[in-house]
Structure 1
């Protein structure tokens, strides 16, 4: 089967970044080695994000959108993107573009062999507090999940869509995507990718979201792991 990729872009009050998103993701899609579509998921933005998204989509068949009736959080936005993907590969990137669309090509090199390929942010350009809280949170998650991933919060991933659609998402579970692929007995890999400072807009996560919230989510993951249903079909008649 020929590969095609849908890139999910969650948006929450990112009007200052969307022109750059249009330019950079549009350029990537135009020059990509496989067909690429961009799917905005507007998570109930209160600014002009939706108006800008509709203008972008009206000017290019590469872009499409979903708009939530109200803010439901990043996990819900990613889940909605997975649910509405029709290509056999689905990617994810944040609308602040602290990771580079061009680095999807690095992940695509390995997606034939793996079911999820995620970036690891090299030389992170975040504040000391943000970097340290992320390191601690990743260490906690790694201890709970045993997934071996160094940077599960990296907003640059590609997943085989049939695996992505089987992920039972709940609030906070976007941090556990590699672990949820392992629950499906899938294979995962991490690849170093570029990282850049946020140029515009405001970060949506503070110390609580990055550190204490994920600790609570780990217990939810353990419950999910215990209750998770996985099966394979030997025959059909």
Structure 2
């Protein structure tokens, strides 16, 4: 089977009220782009798994995955990336606030070949005041300390090279720091404005304690990782003269 260009990865917990419409929107948005969709049911208590199994029986592009116990958003994305087959990974939140209609423009920018990651930038936010405040503080502190040149690293919609993602260090909450981690590996990131919508159904699993304070602690860890990294480093490979000559002769054959 030929690998698709894009693997869409969606971590979801108790999002059965949002997943059907989200899947339909993805199908419309990527109708002309070869893709697959991996949704990780992170130990939902609703009927998300039954819904995904029923949809997968009718759509070969949908690949449901499930955690018996909740492992969180970063672990869900990281494990799905191991199983994904696409050249590019496109991430979306399962709450429906990211608009799949933005995916084609992010994918088109990514495929120009000069970037590792394309991040969405939510110009207009549709969240409650606490979520907006905590994000504003975290983004300001992160931009000053990590200098990742990304105005909205918390936006769930991103497109990243799969090979580059798999080289990143794994840790819980790593999804919030992808631009900084990519830059530490010598990659390049750009941001594009994207739509942001009110949550369709259910409730957010994030609050002040697991968003702002946890993010600030994790930021210190990312600073340490970047400080201790020696990448990118130029490396030369020794090639015996006989091998080099053979290669050159093969290239000159008519």
TM-score range, shorter chain: over 0.9
Quote the offset at 1:108 in angstroms: 1.7
User: What does residue 95 of structure 2 align with?
Assistant: 96
Question: What SS does the corresponding residue of 1:109 show, helix, strand or coil?
Answer: helix
**Count of matched residue pairs:** 234
Quote the offset at 1:229 in angstroms: 5.7
With the length of structure 1 as denominator, give the TM-score of the two structures: 0.93
> Contact (CA 8 Å) 2:8, 2:89: kept in 1 or not?
yes
Quote the offset at 1:102 in angstroms: 1.3
Separation in structure 1 between the aligned mates of residue 199 and residue 4 of structure 2, nearest angstrom? 31
Q: Map of 1:182-201 to 2, 5 A cutoff?
A: 182-201=183-202
> Contact (CA 8 Å) 2:29, 2:104: kept in 1 or not?
no
User: What does residue 51 of structure 2 align with?
Assistant: 52
Q: Any runs of at least 4 consecutive aligned residues in structure 1 with deviations exceeding 6 A, and if so which?
A: none
User: What does residue 106 of structure 1 align with?
Assistant: 105
User: What does residue 235 of structure 1 align with?
Assistant: 237
Question: What SS does the corresponding residue of 1:42 show, helix, strand or coil?
Answer: strand
Separation in structure 1 between the aligned mates of residue 178 and residue 43 of structure 2, nearest angstrom? 23
User: What does residue 79 of structure 1 align with?
Assistant: 78
Q: Which runs of 5+ in 2 are unaligned?
A: 240-254
> Contact (CA 8 Å) 1:141, 1:214: kept in 2 or not?
no
Quote the offset at 1:3 in angstroms: 7.2
Quote the offset at 1:172 in angstroms: 1.4
Q: Which has the larger radius of gyration?
A: 2
Q: Map of 1:136-215 to 2, 5 A cutoff?
A: 136-215=137-216
Question: Which stretch of the first structure deviates more once superposed, 223-232 or 202-211?
Answer: 223-232
Q: Map of 1:115-126 to 2, 5 A cutoff?
A: 115-126=116-127
1:15–1:184 distance in 2 versus 1, CA, 3 Å: same
With the length of structure 2 as denominator, give the TM-score of the two structures: 0.87
> Contact (CA 8 Å) 2:29, 2:103: kept in 1 or not?
no
User: What does residue 135 of structure 1 align with?
Assistant: 136
User: What does residue 43 of structure 1 align with?
Assistant: 42
Q: Which runs of 5+ in 1 are unaligned?
A: none
Separation in structure 2 between the aligned mates of residue 57 and residue 97 of structure 1, nearest angstrom? 19
Quote the offset at 1:64 in angstroms: 0.6
Provide the alpha-carbon RMSD of the alignment: 1.7
Question: What SS does the corresponding residue of 1:141 show, helix, strand or coil?
Answer: helix
Quote the offset at 1:169 in angstroms: 1.8
> Contact (CA 8 Å) 2:4, 2:85: kept in 1 or not?
no
